[in-house]
Amino acid sequence: MAATELTTDTFHRGKFTLVQPQKGGHRAGIDAMLLAACVAGGFDGQLADLGAGAGAGALAVLSRCPQASASLFEISDAMLDCANRTLAHSDNETFASRARICKADITANGEVRSRCGLEQNSFDWVIANPPFNDKDDRRSPHSERSFAHVMDGKTIELWSRTAASIAKPGGYFSMIVRPQSIGEILAGFMGRFGALRITPVHARADEDAIRILVTGKKGSKQKLEMSAPLVLHENDGRGFTRRADALINGLASL
Asked whether residue 225 carries a pLDDT value surpassing 60, the answer given is: yes
Q: What percent of the chain has pLDDT over 70?
A: 89
pLDDT of 135 above 60: no
Phi, psi (degrees; rounded to nearest 5) at 5: -95, 5
pLDDT at 192 over 90: yes
CA distances to 54, 89, 143, 233, 235 from 95, rounded to whole Å, are 14, 10, 30, 31, 37
**What single letter denotes the amino acid at residue 177?**
V
Residue 97 neighbours by CB under 8 Å, 6+ apart: none
In the chain, the number of structural domains is 1
To the nearest whole number, what is the mean pLDDT of the chain? 91
- For the cut 80, the answer to whether the pLDDT of residue 139 exceeds it is no
Give domain status of residue 254, yes or no: no
Q: Give pLDDT tens digits for 76-125.
A: 999 999 999 999 999 999 989 999 999 999 999 888 999 999 999 999 99
Let me know if residue 66 belongs to a domain: yes
pLDDT of residue 251: 98
pLDDT of residue 22: 86
Instruction: State how far the Cα of 181 lies from the Cα of 184, in Å rounded to an integer.
Output: 5
pLDDT of residue 137 exceeding 50, the answer is no
**Which pLDDT score, from 0 to 100, does residue 134 have?**
52
Q: Is residue 253 part of a domain?
A: no
Assess if residue 97 is contained within a domain: yes
Max Cα distance, the chain (Å): 53
pLDDT of res. 117? 95
Q: Which residue range(s) make up the domain with 165? A: 3-248
* Contacts (Cβ under 8 Å, ≥6 apart) of 54: 18, 19, 20, 26, 28, 79, 82, 83, 85, 86
Q: What is the CATH number of the domain that holds 90?
A: 3.40.50.150
| Residue 197 bridge partners (DSSP) | 215, 225
> Is residue 85 included in any domain, yes or no?
yes
Residues in the chain: 254
Q: What is the mean pLDDT of residues 150-170?
A: 89
pLDDT exceeds 80 at position 136: no
- Which pTM does this prediction carry? 0.91
Q: What is the 3-state secondary structure (H, E, C) of the chain?
A: CCHHHEEEEEECCCCEEEEEECCCCCCCCHHHHHHHCCCCCCCCCEEEEECCCCCHHHHHHHHHCCCCEEEEEECCHHHHHHHHHHHHCHHHHHHHCCEEEEECCCCCCHHHHHHCCCCCCCEEEEEECCCCEECCCCCCCCHHHHHHHEECCCHHHHHHHHHHHHEEEEEEEEEEECHHHHHHHHHHHCCCEEEEEEEEEECCCCCCEEEEEEEEEECCCCCCEECCCEECECCCCCCECHHHHHHHCCCCCC
**Average pLDDT of the segment spanning 179-202:** 97
Minimum mean pLDDT range among 20-34, 44-58, 140-154, 213-227: 140-154
